[in-house]
Chains A and B, each alone.
Chain A
Amino acid sequence: MLRKTISYFCLLACLSLCTGCFDILEEINLNQDGSGTMLVTLNMSKSKTKLASIMLLDSINGYKVPSKDDMNEAMKDVVAHLQKTEGITNIKKTKDFDNYIFTIACDFTKVENINDIFKELIRKQNKNGGTQFTTKNFSFNSGTKTFQRDFTYDPSIKKSFARMNKEDQEIFDETNYTCIYRFDESVKSVSNKNAKISPNKKAVMLRIDAMSFISGEKTVQNKIQLTQ
């Protein structure tokens, strides 16, 4: 009882003092034949003090706090799902509980394989939540040399955010989503005005803050035209 009291006394103080934010990185290296590698990184390092506090609690703001074992299990599930997806190979995962950085990488034989990873999940969400998210998020036309990142904004994102309590909403204040796509060929043009082409013309980076994404002001939708 005493141990719990001390923990709560100090942890609640920490929780109210430390701010929270995180970054998501989506990186794709695309080969000429449409195959490539994908790396997704969740970096919560900036919030590690707060997360270390949260991890000592059973629940926060009515949500159950997952234990390290829970997170390990979740990552195992993701890997198992990837292993079952056609065209996905060489799956690697890393987890750093000191800095709260988690990555999953895989090779794909064609970008459409990546769509297959999330297809079922998105279908279920669309069916249960009445949303209209596209199940085709990545495509590459080797004939026209066009790489496309699709995304259909659904107002339910904004509604879900509005339903969250203010403390939870503040988590997204300094959260960013970064997409980096690297190619063998040079990039001729990009459709998303927020995307940047690297000086050597072989990569495109799009960094958007979570609040703009939630409000629909900015999108990850992008059509990248490579030189033929």
Chain B
Amino acid sequence: MGERTLMKGNEVLGEAAVRAGCRFYFGYPITPQNELTAYMAKRMDEVGGVFLQSESELAAINMIYGASAAGARAMTSSSGPGISLMQEGISYLAGAELPCVIVNVMRGGPGLGNIAPSQGDYFQATRGGGHGDYRTIVLAPYRVQEMADLTTLAFYLADKYRTPVVVLVDAVLGQMMEPVEFKEPDLPPLPPKDWAVGYMMGRPKRLVTSLYLAPGALERHNLHLKEKYERIEREEVRWEGVCLEDAEVVLVAYGTSARVCLGAVMRGRSEGRRIGLLRPITLWPFPWKVLRKVAEKVKAILVVEMSLGQLMEDVRLAVEGRCPVRLLGRPGGGVPTVREVSEKVEEMSDEGVESL
């Protein structure tokens, strides 16, 4: 504790999970998250946990279902194609209200795409991803340190709300190294898992299921889930603002794109430009309210993402026409540069807002 060590993002996700009490890891290798799987293979053995390289991502996510139903903290990780395969299982986990943490280190898509950094799985992560009416909490760190902190939080929120939590990062964060310090979490106690199945000695039968066949039963279940999601939307929105007070142009970005935007804010401010950054930390629940307030004061918003307008849709839903919203999107492995963002901001300022 208290010591800063240089670690790779992918490995930090694993170490933070182990420290959060995760003792079950199931996964199947895929670049650019392989270091996480490899780290868990080594680390689970050291702490007496279970590491299993499954025959497929489908198997992995269903193993998570089993471990979680028995009350254990469990995690899986993958990238685009593997996460797509897991969607059926994630829907079942959401339906059965099972807590777990799913890491997606995003690579370029669609299809097999490539192994370069991307943010193209935003829709999939924030809209549930699988079938049926559900949401998953989505946490989006932008530093290696925050990858540790938010993994800790992910396990906590998963248990608190009995829901799958997605930690969504891109390949830059997965592959890069930064100093990290694993902090002792300061989180309120959680209720006992009085729903978990397993040893039945001295207690009545329990059932973990996502199947509701009785007339009206599923509708009631869906409304119960909705109530839970509304509670999450009220209580768990997280975001960070940089230089928002007097900003005329505000950048909205998460993950690596937000790091690039931070560079553009620093550069812009040193040149006297009134530029700020709003960084959603929870992509769902999305920081609607703060963004709406920001939109009322600024001349324009520029969304910067490593995809083509996925984050921008949420920004527009929040802004509701209060100010112009522009996009700088780099898909398929392209990473925006500080220069590109700065030039786009200058262009927007020069054009004047009326024409945007």
The judgment on whether A and B are partners is no
